[in-house]
Amino acid sequence: MAQKVLVVDDDPIMHRVLKHYLERNGYEMLGAKTGREGVDIAKQELPRVIVLDVRMPEMSGLAALRELKESESTRTIPVIIVTVSADRTTQLESKVSGADAFLLKPFRPGELLEQIKNLAPPEVPKD
Protein backbone atom coordinates (compact mmCIF):
# COMPACT_ATOMS: atom_id res chain seq x y z
CA MET A 1 0.00 0.00 0.00
CA ALA A 2 1.36 3.43 -0.96
CA GLN A 3 2.24 5.88 1.77
CA LYS A 4 -0.06 8.90 1.93
CA VAL A 5 1.32 12.41 1.53
CA LEU A 6 -1.06 15.28 2.29
CA VAL A 7 -0.40 18.41 0.22
CA VAL A 8 -2.10 21.51 1.65
CA ASP A 9 -1.86 24.35 -0.86
CA ASP A 10 -4.42 26.65 -2.49
CA ASP A 11 -2.65 26.50 -5.88
CA PRO A 12 -4.32 23.92 -8.19
CA ILE A 13 -1.21 23.79 -10.41
CA MET A 14 0.89 22.77 -7.41
CA HIS A 15 -1.61 19.98 -6.70
CA ARG A 16 -1.48 18.67 -10.28
CA VAL A 17 2.32 18.75 -10.51
CA LEU A 18 2.91 17.15 -7.12
CA LYS A 19 0.18 14.53 -7.58
CA HIS A 20 1.77 13.38 -10.83
CA TYR A 21 5.28 13.39 -9.36
CA LEU A 22 4.41 11.72 -6.05
CA GLU A 23 2.30 9.01 -7.66
CA ARG A 24 5.09 8.26 -10.15
CA ASN A 25 7.34 7.71 -7.14
CA GLY A 26 5.02 5.33 -5.28
CA TYR A 27 3.12 7.70 -2.98
CA GLU A 28 -0.60 8.40 -2.72
CA MET A 29 -1.32 12.14 -2.63
CA LEU A 30 -4.17 13.59 -0.62
CA GLY A 31 -5.00 17.23 -1.34
CA ALA A 32 -6.43 20.15 0.62
CA LYS A 33 -6.91 23.76 -0.48
CA THR A 34 -7.08 25.48 2.93
CA GLY A 35 -5.36 25.10 6.28
CA ARG A 36 -8.66 24.13 7.92
CA GLU A 37 -9.35 21.44 5.33
CA GLY A 38 -5.76 20.20 5.71
CA VAL A 39 -6.07 19.82 9.48
CA ASP A 40 -9.36 17.95 9.10
CA ILE A 41 -7.98 15.57 6.45
CA ALA A 42 -4.80 14.98 8.46
CA LYS A 43 -6.80 13.99 11.54
CA GLN A 44 -8.99 11.65 9.50
CA GLU A 45 -6.40 10.08 7.16
CA LEU A 46 -3.19 10.26 9.28
CA PRO A 47 -0.82 10.70 6.32
CA ARG A 48 2.85 9.73 6.54
CA VAL A 49 3.97 13.31 5.71
CA ILE A 50 2.24 16.70 5.33
CA VAL A 51 3.39 19.34 2.84
CA LEU A 52 1.99 22.66 4.02
CA ASP A 53 1.97 26.05 2.29
CA VAL A 54 2.16 29.11 4.55
CA ARG A 55 -0.17 31.53 2.77
CA MET A 56 -3.69 30.17 2.35
CA PRO A 57 -7.29 31.26 2.84
CA GLU A 58 -9.31 30.52 6.01
CA MET A 59 -6.36 29.38 8.11
CA SER A 60 -2.69 30.07 7.44
CA GLY A 61 -0.26 27.22 7.13
CA LEU A 62 1.45 28.27 10.35
CA ALA A 63 -1.85 28.24 12.26
CA ALA A 64 -2.60 24.81 10.78
CA LEU A 65 0.88 23.61 11.76
CA ARG A 66 0.36 24.69 15.36
CA GLU A 67 -3.00 22.90 15.50
CA LEU A 68 -1.52 19.74 13.99
CA LYS A 69 1.34 19.71 16.51
CA GLU A 70 -1.06 20.28 19.43
CA SER A 71 -3.32 17.37 18.46
CA GLU A 72 -2.57 13.97 19.96
CA SER A 73 -3.42 12.19 16.70
CA THR A 74 -1.25 14.30 14.36
CA ARG A 75 1.62 15.67 16.45
CA THR A 76 4.15 13.08 15.27
CA ILE A 77 3.39 13.43 11.55
CA PRO A 78 6.36 15.17 9.86
CA VAL A 79 5.47 18.52 8.27
CA ILE A 80 7.33 20.20 5.42
CA ILE A 81 6.60 23.91 5.14
CA VAL A 82 6.67 25.36 1.61
CA THR A 83 6.45 29.08 0.94
CA VAL A 84 7.48 31.89 -1.38
CA SER A 85 8.51 33.94 1.64
CA ALA A 86 12.27 33.82 2.14
CA ASP A 87 12.23 36.05 5.21
CA ARG A 88 13.94 34.77 8.33
CA THR A 89 10.85 35.38 10.50
CA THR A 90 8.74 32.89 8.54
CA GLN A 91 11.49 30.27 8.73
CA LEU A 92 11.95 30.80 12.45
CA GLU A 93 8.21 30.75 13.16
CA SER A 94 7.90 27.53 11.14
CA LYS A 95 10.63 25.86 13.15
CA VAL A 96 9.27 27.07 16.51
CA SER A 97 5.78 25.88 15.53
CA GLY A 98 7.07 22.36 14.85
CA ALA A 99 7.98 22.15 11.15
CA ASP A 100 10.38 19.34 10.32
CA ALA A 101 11.63 20.86 7.06
CA PHE A 102 11.34 24.09 5.06
CA LEU A 103 11.40 24.58 1.27
CA LEU A 104 11.24 27.82 -0.68
CA LYS A 105 9.01 28.03 -3.74
CA PRO A 106 9.71 27.49 -6.51
CA PHE A 107 11.37 24.17 -5.75
CA ARG A 108 12.08 21.13 -7.88
CA PRO A 109 9.78 18.16 -7.20
CA GLY A 110 12.92 16.11 -6.60
CA GLU A 111 13.84 18.38 -3.67
CA LEU A 112 10.47 17.73 -2.08
CA LEU A 113 10.72 13.99 -2.71
CA GLU A 114 14.13 13.95 -1.03
CA GLN A 115 12.67 15.69 2.05
CA ILE A 116 9.75 13.24 2.13
CA LYS A 117 12.11 10.26 1.94
CA ASN A 118 14.30 11.72 4.70
CA LEU A 119 11.34 12.27 7.02
CA ALA A 120 9.42 9.11 6.15
CA PRO A 121 11.55 6.44 4.49
CA PRO A 122 9.61 4.13 2.18
CA GLU A 123 8.15 1.14 3.95
CA VAL A 124 9.65 -2.21 3.08
CA PRO A 125 6.97 -4.62 1.84
CA LYS A 126 6.35 -7.56 4.17
CA ASP A 127 6.37 -11.04 2.69
Domain limits, the chain: 3-119
| pLDDT over 80 at 125, yes or no | no
What's the order of all strands across the beta sheet hosting 27-32?
27-32, 3-8, 49-53, 79-83, 101-104
| pLDDT over 60 at 100, yes or no | yes
Give the pLDDT of residue 89: 87
Give the pLDDT of residue 123: 66
Query: What CA–CA distance (Å, rounded) separates 18 from 24?
Result: 10
Whether a cis peptide bond, with omega within 30° of 0, leads into 109 is no
Domain 3-119: what homologous superfamily?
A: Response regulator (3.40.50.2300)
| pLDDT over 60 at 88, yes or no | yes
Mean pLDDT of the chain: 91
